[in-house]
Amino acid sequence: MHTVLISAEVSPFAKAGGLADVASALPRALSAIGVDMRVIMPKYRGIEAKTPLQEVARFPVEVGNNKVECIAYRGHLPGSDVPVFFLGNDYYFDRAQIYGEDGGDYPDALERFVFLSRGALKLCQELDWQVDVIHANDWHTALTPAYLRAGLGPRDARSVLTIHNLAYQGIFPQDRAETIGLNDEMLAPFRHSGKLNLLRGGIMRADYLTTVSPSYAEEIMISGEGLEGDLHSRRESLVGILNGVDYTVWNPQIDRHLWANYSTSDCSGKQENKKRLLSELNLEGNGPLVGMISRLAEQKGFDLVMASFERMLSLGITFVILGTGSQQIEKFFKRVAQKYPRNVAALITFSEQWAHRIEAASDIFLMPSRFEPCGLNQMYSLRYGTVPVVRATGGLRDTVHEYDATRESGNGFTFKEYSAEEMLASLRRAVALYSENPQGWSKLRARGMKEDHSWEASAKEYRDLYERVLATRA
Ligand code: ADP
C-alpha cells in the first residue's frame, strides 16, 4: 500500500494548529504498521534549518495561465524514515507566516494552494512513484481529488480527503476559477452559493472522506457550516476516525521542555512544574491552576470565558493562557492579566515549550469549545494528569467523560449547553473535588494518565479505510 499525504502544515516544520500534529504523527504510525508513506508540504521559510534538504526535482507547475517553477527537496520526519518532500517556490512560500500576517490569509492563497495541490501530484509523476492513495487534508489540498480525476496525477490512484475543521472552506470569488485550471464539468462542484468553495468541491470529488472524530462526523451531517446536505449525500463514504496523541512528543516522563519529569506512579514532578511556572510568571497559587492553550478563535468558546471571567476567578483559581489570534480576545487577556497580575498570566505568543509546561503545571485544562472536530489538548492533558473541563462536543465528547464519584469512573468534567453558567458549574465541580477531596482528585487524575490515546488504533482504521478505497479501483 503506497500513500502520499499532502498537507499545508506538518510538525515540526510548520504548525498553526492540530492539522500539523496529525500530518506528522499519522504517517509515522501508518508507516509503523506497514503502509508505505510519503508526505508532501510547502517549503516555507526556515525549513532548511530544521532538516537537511536534498534537491530531488525541478519542474514547472501550472497555476492559472502561468507556469511556475517548483524545486522539490527531500527530508524526513524526525524519529522515523518517512520521507517528506518540500515543494519550493520562494515567491509563494518564503514569507513570515504560513497563511497570512494580519489574522487573514495572504491575498494569493488560492494560487499558493493550487501550486501545492498540482505540484504534489506532478511530483508523484516526475519521480515515477507508484501511488495507491492520495490523502488530502482540509481546503488547501481539497483540489487534489478533482485534479486526479482530470488525469493530472498518478494513474489509478484513489483519493481520501480528511476534514480537520469544516469552518475553513477556502472560499474565493467565482472569477478566480481560471487559476484552478479545471474544465467546467470538473469545476462544477466547486461552485457553491455564488463562490468557489474548495472544500465543498473536495467533499464531492474525493473517493472517501474522513473527519477527525466519530461525533464530529455525525454533527456535521446535521449542522455543517452550510455543507451539511453535501456531507449527508456522501454519508456512505464519510468516516470519523479519532486523532491520536504522539506519545514520543507528549509524555511527561520524557518531555524535555519540563522543569521536572513525572509519571503515574510518581507525580511529585508535576507539583514541581506548578511551583516553577507560578514563580516564573509571578503568580500566586493556593488553589488549582487552570490552563488554556489555544488559537484565540471564536470556535474555542472564549465568549463564555470572557463573559464569566471574574466569576471564574472567584472560585479561587489561578489562570494561565497561551495563545494568539483574534485581537479582541488577545486584548481581553492582556487586560485581565494586568488587572490581576498575581492570579492571571497571559502569554500571547506561540511557544511549543510553554505549551508543554502549561500542560504539566496545570491542575485543570479548560476547553469550552463551541465546536471541536477532535481537539488534541484534552488528550495531552489526560496524559499529563491535568483534569480536562470541556464542552461535550465533537472529539471532546468522544474523549472526556464526566467524573462519577460513586462508580469511580470518568476522566474529567463536561457540560452540554453552550452557556457561561454551564461552563462555570462544571468548573465549580472540578474545583470542589480538587479542594475538598484530594484523594478523589488523585484517583481521577491517575485514571486519565493511564488512558491510551496513541495513534496505533486510529492508524489501523486509516489503513483499513485505504484498503476499502482501493477496492473501489476494480
Ligand atoms: P486546533 O487544530 O483547532 O487549533 P487542536 O486542539 O486540535 O486545535 O490542536 C491545537 C494544537 O496547537 C495543539 O498541539 C496545541 O498545543 C497547539 N497550540 C495552539 N496554540 C498554541 C500556542 N499559542 N503555542 C503553542 N502551541 C499552541
Burial of 306 (0-12, 13-18, 19+ CB in 10 A): middle
Q: In the predicted model, is pLDDT for residue 237 greater than 70?
A: yes
Establish whether domains 2-244+455-471 and 268-450 are of one fold. Answer: yes
Instruction: Pick left, alpha or beta for residue 410 (phi over 0 → left; psi -120 to 50 → alpha; otherwise beta).
Output: left
Question: What does CATH list as the number for 2-244+455-471?
Answer: 3.40.50.2000
200-203 long-range contacts (CB < 8 A, ≥24 apart) are 200/169, 200/227, 200/230, 201/142, 201/143, 201/146, 202/136, 202/139, 202/141, 202/142, 202/143, 202/144, 202/145, 202/146, 202/161, 203/142, 203/161, 203/163, 203/227, 203/230, 203/231, 203/234
* pLDDT at 472 (0 to 100): 83
> Over pLDDT 70: what percentage of the chain?
100
Averaged pLDDT for residues 37-45: 98
Distances in whole angstroms, Cα of residue 389 to Cα of each of 30, 90, 128, 306, 385: 31, 43, 49, 16, 13
Compute the distance from residue 54 Cα to the ligand 1 centre, in Å.
30
Compute the distance from residue 295 Cα to the ligand 1 centre, in Å.
6
Query: In a 3-state reduction of DSSP, which class is residue 457?
Result: helix
Q: Are 388 and 375 in contact (CB under 8 A)?
A: no
Sign of CA dihedral 234, 239, 242, 247: negative
Burial of 177 (0-12, 13-18, 19+ CB in 10 A): middle
* pLDDT at 251 (0 to 100): 97
Q: Are 38 and 83 in contact (CB under 8 A)?
A: yes
* pLDDT at 152 (0 to 100): 96
Give the DSSP H or E segment for 440.
helix 438-450
20-29 tens-digit pLDDT: 999 999 999 9
Instruction: Using DSSP bridges, classify how beta strands 195-197 and 238-240 pair: parallel, antiparallel or unpaired.
Output: unpaired
Sign of CA dihedral 344, 350, 351, 357: positive
Q: In the predicted model, is pLDDT for residue 474 greater than 80?
A: no
What is the rounded distance in angstroms from the CA atom of residue 471 to the CA atom of residue 390? 39
* pLDDT at 103 (0 to 100): 74
Choose which residue among 165, 255, 294, 383 to substitute to test ligand 1 binding: the one with the highest number of ligand atoms within 8 A of its C-beta.
Answer: 294
Choose which residue among 7, 21, 140 to substitute to test ligand 1 binding: the one with the highest number of ligand atoms within 8 A of its C-beta.
Answer: 21
Compute the distance from residue 121 Cα to the ligand 1 centre, in Å.
29
Burial of 381 (0-12, 13-18, 19+ CB in 10 A): buried
* pLDDT at 161 (0 to 100): 98
Atom 18 of ligand 1, nearest CA residue = 294
Closest atom of ligand 1 to 324 CA is 23
Choose which residue among 97, 138, 293, 356 to substitute to test ligand 1 binding: the one with the highest number of ligand atoms within 8 A of its C-beta.
Answer: 293
Q: Are 403 and 433 in contact (CB under 8 A)?
A: yes
Compute the distance from residue 469 Cα to the ligand 1 centre, in Å.
31
- Grid coordinates of 179: 487559476
Compute the distance from residue 454 Cα to the ligand 1 centre, in Å.
18
- Residue 430's contacts (CB-CB under 8 Å, 6 or more residues apart) are 288, 364, 387, 389, 412, 413
Closest atom of ligand 1 to 349 CA is 23
Nearest to 276 by CA among 219, 390, 339, 357: 357
Atom 12 of ligand 1, nearest CA residue = 17
Q: In the predicted model, is pLDDT for residue 67 greater than 90?
A: yes
- Say which DSSP state 454 is in: B
Q: At what angle do helices 438-450 and 420-436 cross, to 10 degrees?
A: 110
Compute the distance from residue 293 Cα to the ligand 1 centre, in Å.
6
| Residue whose cell numbers read 476499502 | 468
Averaged pLDDT for residues 393-413: 97
Sign of CA dihedral 42, 46, 52, 57: positive
Averaged pLDDT for residues 135-151: 98
Fold of 268-450: Rossmann fold (3.40.50)
Compute the distance from residue 180 Cα to the ligand 1 centre, in Å.
31
Q: In the predicted model, is pLDDT for residue 125 greater than 70?
A: yes
Look over the chain and give the mean of its residue pLDDT values, rounded to a whole number: 97
What is the rounded distance in angstroms from the CA atom of residue 156 to the CA atom of residue 133? 9
* pLDDT at 456 (0 to 100): 93
Atom 20 of ligand 1, nearest CA residue = 294
Give the DSSP H or E segment for 246.
none
Q: Are 138 and 10 in contact (CB under 8 A)?
A: no
* pLDDT at 460 (0 to 100): 97
Give the DSSP H or E segment for 171.
strand 171-173
What is the rounded distance in angstroms from the CA atom of residue 190 to the CA atom of residue 169? 11
Averaged pLDDT for residues 232-252: 95
Averaged pLDDT for residues 269-297: 97
Compute the distance from residue 338 Cα to the ligand 1 centre, in Å.
24
Closest atom of ligand 1 to 367 CA is 6
Atom 22 of ligand 1, nearest CA residue = 350
Query: In a 3-state reduction of DSSP, which class is residue 311?
Result: helix
Distance of CA 94 to the CA centre of its chain: 23
Confidence of residue 328 (pLDDT cuts 50, 70, 90): very high
347-358 tens-digit pLDDT: 999 999 999 999
Q: Are 230 and 204 in contact (CB under 8 A)?
A: yes
Q: In the predicted model, is pLDDT for residue 102 greater than 90?
A: no
- Residue 57's contacts (CB-CB under 8 Å, 6 or more residues apart) are 70, 71, 72, 123, 126, 127
Choose which residue among 97, 320, 376 to substitute to test ligand 1 binding: the one with the highest number of ligand atoms within 8 A of its C-beta.
Answer: 376
Ligand 1 binding residues, C-beta < 6 A: 17-18, 21, 165, 293-295, 322-324, 350-352, 355, 374-377
- Domain residue spans of the chain: 2-244+455-471, 268-450
